[in-house]
Amino acid sequence: MANRHDNDLVATSAEELERCARNAVAAFDGWSAMAPRDRARALVSAADAMRAHEDELVAIAIDETGLAEARLRGELTRTAVQLRLFADVVVDGDYLDVRIDPADPDFALGPRPDLRRMLVPLGPVLNFSGSNFPFAFSVAGGDTASALAAGCSVIVKAHPGHPELSRRTGELVAGALADAGAPAHTLQLIFGQDQGVAMLRDERIRAGSFTGSIRAGRLLADVAAARAKPIPFYGELGSVNPQFVTRAKLAHDLDTLCSGFVASVSSSAGQFCTKPGFLFVSDARVVAQAIREAAEGVPEHRMLNPRSGEGYRRRRDTVLASPGVEVITAGIVRVDGDAQTWVTPTIVSVDSATLESAGSRLLDESFGPLAIVVQYGDEGELADLAARLFPGNLTGGVHALADEATPELAALIDQLHRSSGRVLFNGWPTGVAVTPAMQHGGPWPATTADVATSVGTAAIGRFLRGVSYQNVPPHLLPLAVRDDNPWGVPQRVAPAGESTSWGERAS
């Protein structure tokens, strides 16, 4: 029954694509004009709809993705709460970044007009769903929630790995939005790979977002950049999330560390963009023993679909055949009668010189429960190793005693902040909090645009642009930038005055 809902069976027709783009433009007009409270209520109503159909949706998801029920229920919760968080963001209005410079005849640069700037939604947005988060990075996931919150209409290119779940989620969420007063077609779905590319080329689409492989993400980023009118494209691609353990930490917390590592690598069969792919330790032999013990209890887990399984098996073979690689635990890799792959973690070790000379053969991401323990010599090497081997990641982690304060550790953390979007201390990168301070995005190839985040409330910034109004009378201004501020949004008002605080004024 693999690939039962084959993508080709439901690919969107050319006529439907055209209608869909037209609808997205019309929906944008109405949706972007809705008052914040009304838009927020529609997002909450979408969350309610998912909650109300949780059992039904989770059952479809289990069937289509092989992910565990508890994980999927947690993910649905996250997705619903995320919609509510963005409802809060919409009502709060701080995301509009309203700036008001009152007219000032004595401004340092000469008379200043009345200027009022706010962020406005870009227009219709196209989101490409990911395979590994059938709720949180799919039809009603973070990209959709943040784009809708910004005031953009959204077209989702459904992932072929969970087409029925996509269809049903889309139906429920689009229905809930409409019931709450959103324009028809505020959220729409399309199916098919070529159809997604065609839509990304459509001039009416004003931004794209994506979660998936480096290959597909790069292809789409290139399409977006090559348009007659280029658009922003936010792709979250590949990440190996290296972890660095100090000598002292290893001596102190060996077992906790290794069991935490194995749990993070194995979780959902390692199909997370934040899976820790590398663990740097001062004693690989000691770690190997603890890892073997921790890995013993890990149950078999089905991979997302036959294709994910195939890719993982190929990648695993490459790693195992690489010179200098020693197996810590080979793990199970079993293909069932439906061509689905079942796995337990494969964990190997190498020394840092071997890793470096192997290049992409070992350094590339393995999408699945494979991780590499790396033996280092001296803590003083770690920052340089991190810089050379891991130029772009979503996350990077250090594991140290709480009061360790060596220059080597400080240098390592400094390096990790240059090459990753999130730096963790004594934690595992899987499990991404949806909060204001989350950053999910890092230097290439982690993302195509590391100025942005795809998780957390700051994700809304991806779908906005600035507009200034100069000397426009109140009755023609948007409400958010008016002095009477009926929505009560935060407004930053520039002080009047003849100089900067450094004392210079116009000559």
- The least CB distance from residue 229 to a copy of itself, in Å, is 4
Is the CB of 292 or the CB of 418 nearer to a copy of itself? 418
Indicate which residue of 258, 273, 365, 379 is catalytic: 273
Residue range at the interface with a copy of itself (CB under 8 A); choices 92-100, 175-183, 320-328, 380-388: 92-100
In this structure, what are the phi and psi dihedrals at residue 156, rounded to the nearest 5 degrees?
Answer: -105, 125
Site for a copy of itself contains 37 (CB under 8 A): no
> Can residue 405 be called a binding residue for a copy of itself (CB under 8 A)?
yes
Which residues from 123-162 bind a copy of itself, rule CB under 8 A?
123
State yes or no: residue 265 binds a copy of itself (CB under 8 A). Answer: no
Between helices 14-33 and 193-201, what is the axis angle to 10°?
A: 50
Told to check if 116 binds a copy of itself by CB under 8 A, we report yes
Q: Is 160 helix (H, G, I), strand (E, B) or coil?
A: coil
Instruction: Pick out residues in 63-82 that bind a copy of itself (CB under 8 A).
Output: 73-74, 77-78, 80-82
Q: Mapping DSSP to helix (H, G, I), strand (E, B) and coil, where does residue 396 land?
A: strand
| Residue among 121 and 160 whose Cβ is closer to a copy of itself | 121
Those residues whose C-beta lies under 8 Å from the C-beta of residue 196, and which sit 6 or more positions away, are 126, 128, 157, 190, 220
Kindly state the smallest distance separating residue 306's Cβ from a copy of itself, in Å: 31
Q: Note if 152 is an active site residue.
A: no
Question: Phi and psi of 65, rounded to 5°?
Answer: -115, -15
Nearer to a copy of itself, 2 or 437 (CB): 437
Expressed in angstroms, the distance from the first to the final Cα of the chain is: 78
Binding to a copy of itself (CB under 8 A) within 431-450 occurs at: 433-439, 441, 443-445, 448-450
Give the bridge partners for 149, in sequence order. Answer: none
List Cβ<8 Å contacts ≥24 apart for 220-226. Answer: 220/128, 220/196, 221/448, 223/197, 224/200
Residue 182 or 221 with smaller CB distance to a copy of itself: 221
Measure the CA–CA gap between 483 and 422, rounded to whole angstroms: 38
Residue 178 host element (H or E): helix 163-179
User: Could you tell me how many residues make up the chain?
Assistant: 507
Task: Based on the shown chain and the rule CB under 8 A, indicate whether residue 427 belongs to the binding site for a copy of itself.
Answer: yes
Among 8, 56, 222, 317, binds a copy of itself (CB under 8 A): 222
54 is catalytic: no
Instruction: State in angstroms the smallest separation of the CB of 103 from a copy of itself.
Output: 10
For a copy of itself, the binding residues in 466-505 under the rule CB under 8 A are 466-473, 475-476, 478, 492, 494, 500-502, 504-505
Please report where in the chains the tokens 């409330």 appear, as a residue.
457
| Of 55-63, 165-173, 268-276, 457-465: span binding a copy of itself (CB under 8 A) | 457-465
Q: Is 35 near a copy of itself (CB under 8 A)?
A: no
Task: Pick between residue 273 and residue 288 the one whose CB is nearest to a copy of itself.
Answer: 273
Least separation in angstroms between CB 499 and a copy of itself: 9
CA–CA distance, 102 with 289 (Å, rounded to integer) = 68
Exactly one of 107, 278, 280, 367 binds a copy of itself (CB under 8 A); that residue is: 107
- In the bound state with a copy of itself, the residue whose beta carbon lies nearer, of 194 and 403, is 403
Size of the site for a copy of itself (CB under 8 A): 99
Residue 450 has φ and ψ, to the nearest 5°, of: -80, 0
**Ordered DSSP codes for 430-454:** SS---STT-----TTTTBS-TT--S
DSSP string, 285-316: HHHHHHHHHHHHTPPPEE-SSHHHHHHHHHHH
For 92, the token pair is: 């709060």
Q: With respect to a copy of itself, which residue has the nearer C-beta, 82 or 146?
A: 82
E strand or H helix that includes residue 156: strand 154-157
Q: Which of 109, 337, 378, 486 binds a copy of itself (CB under 8 A)?
A: 109
Residue span 371-390 as binding mask against a copy of itself, x where in contact by CB under 8 A, dash where not: --------------------
Distance from C-alpha of 416 to C-alpha of 382, rounded to nearest angstrom: 10
**Other CB atoms within 10 Å distance of the CB of residue 24:** 27
Which ranges of 212-330 does DSSP label H, i.e. alpha helix? Answer: 214-226, 247-266, 284-296, 306-320
Does 451 bind a copy of itself (CB under 8 A)? Our answer is: yes
The residue range among 91-99, 236-244, 312-320, 364-372 that interacts with a copy of itself, by the rule CB under 8 A, is: 91-99
Measured distance CA(504)–CA(501) in Å, rounded: 8
Q: How far is the CB of 285 from a copy of itself (least distance, A)?
A: 29
- Catalytic residue selected from 64, 75, 152, 236: 236
Catalytic positions, written as ranges? 236, 273
